Structure formats: structure tokens, C-alpha cells
Structure 1
Amino acid sequence: MKLRTQAILTALFFILIKSSTVAQSIEAPKIIWKVNRVELGTILEEEGNQEVEFEFTNSQDSLFFIEDIWLECGCTTVEFSKDTLAQGETGKVRVSFDPTSAYGFFSKLVVVKGNLSGVQDSLFLEGTSIPYPSNPPRAYPVKNGNLGFRLKKINMGEVFDNEPKIKYVEFFNFGTEDLEKGAFRSETPTYIWVEQVQNLIRPQERGLLMIRYESVNRSGDLGFFEDQVPVFWENIEGSRINLEIIADLFEYFPPVSKNEIDDLPQLYIQQKEIDLKEISSKSIVRRTVTLSNRGRKVLEIRKIQGNCECLIIESPKDQLNPGESLELSLTFDPKGRKGIDQRNIYIFTNDPINPVQLVVLKSRIE
């Protein structure tokens, strides 16, 4: 019995050693890709096939070559290095994508199979493809000079201060002049950059503008903002237009572990919804909201923003020590308003779990 037990233990030992060896061999990549995912951004159908190059390096002391490449659909074609590569040598895989095959967001998979055991790597090609419209005036109803846009305002959405936000905006050239990239100019603030993507956009063709928004250059300000950004082509008289760019700016906080939560500043709002019920449009209404810091570090009130000039918000201080509270004063002037009304108050703090909290002021104005 003792010998049998010993034999079982020995067998288990060798199984564990083998499993560990296999795991280690799987974890060590045979070839190293410079990137395995490429974001093409917004692609217009008329731009034609898009080509992307993936570069890899053989990290093994064994010779390597690509045996085969599997494509997800006929919308992609591929060319690749057929050479046998020694350790440290590089190869390339070129993928061509036809944007007419997929409209809207796409993610295409390319699987690379090598001669070495375990080499079956996945590459991804992603972006958004936009078809050419059958009726351009209907597709681009917002006229701004000789250009047509889908929407009146360019919404950048949420922009955090740890990295810039980039958005591609399509437009239609309803004018009679070629729009040259070299002649494009913009008068932007320090936190916005606008660039024409294509080198040339002819009449009755579409183009793309790349908008880059860096909120960190806006002196750390937070909340909702709207900018008027003039752009023009210096060789075309009367081409000057204003782009309306809106964005919601937020402070970025890195993730925190569960055991850190109690040691952080924590904003607590006693009443997040205030119902004024029926009020007169001729009477100014005043209310208070209690803010408290339930954390163990100082709570900093970065900003308080209302969504209307009819609302005045006053805070006696911008910091709360642990356990401290303050009364936020709200003054609402409903003059000129009638019916059901809702005012939003956004409170920005250094509470990393809930950095932005909302207080709603509801009423029915007679």
C-alpha cells in the first residue's frame, strides 16, 4: 500500500512538472508583434481599399516562417513575408480592407499560423465605414457655408484630462472649389486642434475633419463647454465658417482597491432631488442642500455647475475636512418660464468613486 501511494505521488509530481513546463512554453511568445490591433478610424466608401501593415519579430532560436493566414471574410486580402526568419529577424503582414463590404463599425480578424508549435496569432482591423449617400442634401442637411454636415454641433462627448479625445467629422463639399489640405487653416484655442484629413476634396465629394480635444490644456476646468472654432481655406474667398464644438470635461481618477475606499474623500449629498411643486413665475425660490464629507481625507469641491443662468449656486467654502458639512445655497428665478421644469446642478469633487454628482431641482411653474 505504501509503495502504491509513493508511486501515485511520484506520478503526480511529474504531471505537475510537465504542466508547469507546458504553461511556461505557452506564456513565452514565439513571435512578437509590434501591434496586433489597428484602428483605421472613420473611412469613407469612396476612399477605396485601406491597407495596413503588421510587423513581427522572431524571438526564438528556431527558424520561423508563416505557414498560412486565415481571413474572416472576402472583404480583406493579405500579403506576407514568405522568407524563413532567424532569431531577431522581422517580417510583415500587409492586410487590405474593402470599406464597401461593411457599413458602420467593423472589426475584422486575421489569424496567422506559423511553423512553430503554438504560433496561431490573431490580428484585428477596426474602424467605422460610411457609405456614399444616394441623396447628399438629405444626408448632410446642415449647411455651413458651402459645406454640408449631418449635425449642427460637433459633440466630442466625455473628454478626460489624462488623454486627448479624437473625433472624425464627415462633411460634403457642395461648393465649386477644390478644398486643399495645404490651404486649410483654423483659429483654435490651445486645447483644440482641427485638421483636414484628405489631401484634396473636390466638389460633390466628401471629406473628413479630425478634431483633437485636450482638456488638460483648458486650465483643469470641468463640466460642459461649447466653443466656436473658425476654419477656412486661405486660397478660397468666403470659405470661412464656424464649427460649434461641445464637450463634457471630466477629471480622470485611476481605479482604487476595495480596501482603499474608506481612506478616500467621499461626498455625501443629503437630498439629491428637490421638488418645489407648484411655484409662480413671478417669485424667486431659495433652497439649501447639505454636502458632507464621509471619507478620511479632505474633500475638494472642484466646481459646481448649473444648466441655466436662471440658477445661482453659492458655496461658503470649497473644501470639507473629514466629517464636515456645508450648506449649498440655491436661488432659482423662474421668470419667463412655464410648465414642468427641471434644473440640473453638477458637483465636481476629488471623490474618486463618485467624482461628479447630480442634484435635480424640479418644479411646475404657473
Structure 2
Amino acid sequence: MNRFAFTLFLAFSTLFSLSIARAQQGDVPKLIWKVNRINIGTVLEEEGLQQAEFEFTHTQDSLFFIEEVIPECGCTAVEYTQDTLQVGESGKVTVSFDPTSSAGFFSKLIVVRGNLSGIQDSLYLEGISIPYPSDLQRAYPILRGPLGFRLRKVNMGDVFDNEPKIKYVEFFNRGEALLDKGALRSVTPPHIQISQVQQFVRPKERGLLMVRYDGKLKNDLGFFEDIVPIRWENVPSSEVKLEIIADLFQYFAPIQKSDLNQVPQLVIAQKEVDLKEISSKAVVRRSVTLTNQGRQTLEIRKVEGNCECLVLEAPKASLEPGESMELSIVFDPAGRKGIDQRNIYVFSNDPVNPVQLIVVKSRIE
């Protein structure tokens, strides 16, 4: 290699190394945020401004300071660290949200810009804002002891066994006594916890109850309803019975498309069973074939109908790859008439379709 060619090669290598180093440095964030998204939960309008703090650490050798923080709208106000920070030092951005500006779910964007090139980070403040109703009695028509509720039941919705689900339930204190958070007592099963959010809820004020439902502790699948009594020990006749409903499911992490053929796969031969015209005096029997078309053992976790009129029997709790079995369905239409539909839910460890539905239709004479 001559001298000119070597010089070109050396220059090219140096530029290539510098570009790699710069690319690697670009991958390192200049600010490390403890979190960049905060959910403040459910907020009542009358509770006033709500605050959340976003904390960060400066990671670069250069001196850093925040040039500006830009909120999405006038409903959020911001304060932030004004100091110039050296590497390893921390700062914070405090966001104040006015709940009178929103109704329902909100997600507010806050943009942070700094003196160093490339610093324009996004923060998000989320939650649910409940406006103050013009007619409290009409807004909370369901009466339970000294409390008024919007709905008869607390619907937790879908609850998975990988993490507890939390729901906030608003109420109106119709009584004459102060409701103290520390005086709240509840008789709950292990999978449910109930607490009062505000320290005090005065007469004619609104409050929030936090319901925490742990599907893993419940250790079951399907639809469930719990009747949970709560009371304030310093308030006579304050017992309230909460009806809590939930649909419980097993959580499966997403799988790669290439792994679809390796997992258990439940195939139901007939997902709609049409019994046509039947007599209300005759018990009807049918069967549906369940097959494991995957390459791992299929576990039938639970088979559940939505009516006591159904008797379901699965001869096995697991199927090997390629194996099938007959699910027995016995339907007793006694006391029913006209067009009827019953649902059967099959829970399995098929990660793509962990819950499958079989519909039983009929016209009962």
C-alpha cells in the first residue's frame, strides 16, 4: 500500500470511528427521568389543584439547565428546577392540574427543553376528572346507608392474574356524620381491599373509595360477584354493602409469530349449537369436540355456563398434541319459553385464545 492510499485509509478509519462514537453517544439520554408518565387517579373537581412531581438526573459532562417547560394547555401550571446542574445532579418538574378544566379521562403533555442539543423530553400527566354535579341527589340515586352511589354495583371489568386492578368509586355523604378514613372497617375476602381516599368526607360532600382486586389471590377464572360490607366504627348505622363484580382471566404475555405453532392450540369443532325447536319438558343432550392442534399440552382450566340450566362435563383436564375429547352439554329448558340463548365459556392455556365461547341456541315451545 503506497503512502497516499494509506493516508486515505487512515482518514476514512478515523471518520468512521468518530461517527460510531457519536452515534453511541446519541443513544445515551442526557436526562434520566424517574418516570415520564404519572397517573394521579380519579380526582373530584372540588378537591382543587392536583400536583405531581417528575424527577430527573443529568447524565452529561456539560453543564445543564432547563430553558423552558411548555404545558399542553392552560389547565396545567409548571414549576421546575432553575439551577445549573453538573453531571449526576438531579432536578424536578412540578405540574399542577386544574380538574375543573376536564371531565372524564385526561392525558396532558408537558415538553421540557434544555440548553444542550437534543433535549426536548415529553412528560405526561394522566387521570380521571369527575365534575361537580348540579343535582347531587339525582347524580347519586342509589342509596346505601348514609351514602349515595351512581350505580348499584362496582364493576371491576376484566381482571388479570398478573397484577391487581384498582378502581375508584365515588359516593355522596348524605348523612350528618363526618366520615374518617381511619374509622373505615371492611370485612373483605383476601383478594379484595377497600380504603377511603380522602382523610375526611364531611356531610353533604363527595368522596372516593379505592377498591383493589387481586385476581392472583382469587385464583379462579370467569365471572364473580362479592358482597362486601363496610362501615365507619364511629358512625352508628353506617354499614354499607358493596356489590363487586369482575371477570377474571389468566394473563399471557405476547408471543412471537414464529412461536405460534409451538404453543397449545384449542380448536372447537362447533361454536354454535342450534337445538332448533325443543319442548320445555324435555332435557336435551349434545356434545362438542375439543381438539389440541398445538405442539404442547393443552390444559382445560375451566368450563363454565352462564346458567344453572346447563350441566357441562369434560372427561379430561388436559389434551396432548393432536388429541381430542367430547365436551358433554346437558340443557334443561324447564320454565323457559321462546327464543333462548345460553353461553358456555372454555378457559384454557391457549395463549392466543385463552377464552372461547360456545353458543347454545333454541326455540322453546
Q: TM-score range by the shorter chain?
A: over 0.9
Distance 1:166 1:70 in 2: 31
CA distance in 2, matches of 1:80, 1:253: 41
TM-score, structure 1 normalization: 0.94
Deviations 1:94-115 (A, max 9, x none): 1111000111111111111111
Superposed, 1:268-307 pairs within 5 Å as 268-307=267-306
Q: CA deviation at 1:21?
A: 4.8
Structure 2 stretches of 5 or more lacking a match?
A: 1-7
Question: What corresponds to 1:209 in structure 2?
Answer: 209
Q: Count matched residues.
A: 361
* Counterpart for residue 171 of structure 2: 171
**Which residue identity lines up with residue 72 of structure 1 in the other structure?**
E
Q: Determine the structure 2 residue equivalent to 1:64.
A: 64
Residues of 2 paired with 1:196 and 1:64: CA distance?
Answer: 42
Letter in 1 for 2:91: G
**1:359 Cα deviation (Å)?**
0.4
Q: Cα gap change, 1:270/1:74 in structure 2, threshold over 3 Å: closer, same or farther?
A: same
Mark the CA change 1:245 to 1:12 in structure 2 (over 3 Å): closer, same or farther. farther
The Cα shift of 1:72 comes to 1.0
SS in 2 for 1:221: coil
> Within 1, Cα distance between the matches of 2:37 and 2:211?
22
Q: SS in structure 2 opposite 1:342?
A: strand
Given residue 196 of structure 2, which amino acid in structure 1 is its aligned partner? Q
Q: Deviations over 1:256-291 (max 9, x none)?
A: 112222121111100000111111111111111111
Q: Say whether residues 1:31 and 2:47 are aligned partners.
A: no
Q: Which amino acid aligns with 2:122?
A: S
Structure-1 separation of matches of 2:272 and 2:187 = 42
- In 1, the alpha carbon distance for the partners of 2:140 and 2:342 equals 33
SS at match of 1:252: coil
- Give unpaired runs (5+ residues) of structure 1: 1-7
Pair 25,206 (structure 1): closer, same or farther in 2 beyond 3 Å: same
Secondary structure of 1:317's match?
A: coil
* Partner residue, 2:3: none
Residue of structure 1 in register with 2:351 after alignment: 352
Query: 1:109 corresponds to which residue?
Result: 109
The 3 A distance-change label for structure 1 pair 11 and 70 is farther
Q: Which residue of 1 aligns with 2:5?
A: none
Deviations 1:21-56 (CA, angstroms, capped at 9, x unpaired): 554333211111111110011110001000111111
Q: Using the alignment, how far apart are the partners of 2:46 and 2:73 within structure 1?
A: 20
- Show the counterpart of 2:4: none
- Larger CA deviation: 114-123 vs 17-26: 17-26
**SS in structure 1 at match of 2:260:** helix
In the alignment, does 2:231 pair up with 1:227? no
Q: Distance in 1 between matches of 2:328 and 2:100?
A: 57
How far residue 319 of structure 1 moved from its aligned partner, in angstroms, is 1.1
d(CA) in 1 for partners of 2:70 and 2:233?
A: 48
> 1-side partners of 2:276 and 2:344: how far apart?
18
Equivalent residue number for residue 332 of structure 1: 331
Normalised by the length of structure 2, the TM-score is 0.94
Give the letter for the 2:330 counterpart. Answer: T
The within-5 A match list for 1:237-316 is: 237-316=236-315
